[in-house]
Amino acid sequence: MNRSFARTTRRLLAAGTLVLAWGGTAPILASCGDSVLDGGEACDAGAANGTATACCASDCQFEPASKTCRPAETTCDVAETCTGSSDTCPSDAVEPAGGECGLTTDCLVSATCDGASKVCGPSTPLPDSDGDSSTSYNELCDAYDPCTNVGGARDFDTTRRIFFSTRPKSIKLVASFAIATPFADLDPEVRGALIALYDPTYEHGAYITLEPGTYGGAGTKGWFESTRQWNYVDATGSSYAIRKVKIQDRSTQSPGRVIVKVAGSAWGPQIPPPPFTLAVTLGSRSVDGAAGRCGETIFGINDCSPKTALYGACVK
């Protein structure tokens, strides 16, 4: 026993305290844990000493300011930590008003904390005019929907055909639908086009973008216009590409009607199982999809002819 310990022991014994053990830098007192503040103790919370939310440690000293004594319960709550100079956990505080607390996506605006409660309200979805956002992420709000197909007005109007051949790997797609603006407003040379397939949960899908630009002959890809028709040709020789697209004006048959024919090499593994949505957007999603220059239809296995499926799509 060294001298300072002997002195401490004599003092504590004089105060009626029995020393049992030497616990690191401070003696652990027999009376620590009896809920009575004895000599040598900074605090004594009884059985709570050293527990997860106590600010009095098991050696009856204050927990450091780094210890969390009340974890945050929600995204609008803040955790409290011990002060380092008290055995009291500070009062329960929450996030200040205005802090974002909810889910934020391209199509969801986060709720904010009100500064008084721990409850975060629901995020606010941006407009989804045709109501086809199928998950809580609201991913098909108007700005991100390839086709705001309000009331089904842009549904394909003829028998849907989509074929994926395995030898050689190719895709053939014919879609017919009514666009909401005149054919003359289509300008894929400037706006490009988009072919999108995605399943109801939005977990699988393929977005094939046909870039804008003018076709310049062999070795290039792009668009050119012919009589009542826009044409896309990819003559670059790249694999897994759309080779040809025709967008034909059939407004003389019925108002706004267009026929879109697509041919190219397949992109099998990304194709979702049926049913999936097939959307053809004559331009960009954010502008032309919202303006109705598009067609969109749920494509089921019964739309295959013959009814054979590979990756959920029809095989010829």
Give residues in contact with Ca ion (CB under 5 A): 77, 92-93, 128, 130, 132, 140, 145, 147, 149, 296
Minimum CB–partner distance for residue 39 and Ca ion (Å): 34
Minimum CB–partner distance for residue 106 and Ca ion (Å): 12
Minimum CB–partner distance for residue 120 and Ca ion (Å): 14
Residue with Cβ nearer Ca ion (89 or 233): 89
Residue with Cβ nearer Ca ion (257 or 285): 285
Minimum CB–partner distance for residue 208 and Ca ion (Å): 17
Residue with Cβ nearer Ca ion (55 or 140): 140
Residue with Cβ nearer Ca ion (98 or 216): 98
Residue with Cβ nearer Ca ion (75 or 149): 149
Minimum CB–partner distance for residue 139 and Ca ion (Å): 9
**DSSP one-letter string for the chain:** --HHHHHHHHHHHHTT--EEEEETTEEEETTTTSSS--TT-S---GGGTTSTT-SB-TTSSBPPTT-EEE---STTB--EE--SS-SSPPP--BPPTT-B-S--BTTEEPPB--SS-SPPPPPEEPP-TT----STT-TT-GGG-S---GGGTTS--S--EEEEEETTEEEEEEEEEE-SS-GGG--HHHH-EEEEEE-TTSSSEEEEEE---B--STT-EEEEEETTEEEEEE-S--SS-EEEEEEEE-TTTSTTEEEEEEEE---GGGSPPSSEEEEEESS-IIIIIHHT-EEEEEE-GGG-SS--EETTEE--
Minimum CB–partner distance for residue 86 and Ca ion (Å): 17
Residue with Cβ nearer Ca ion (6 or 93): 93
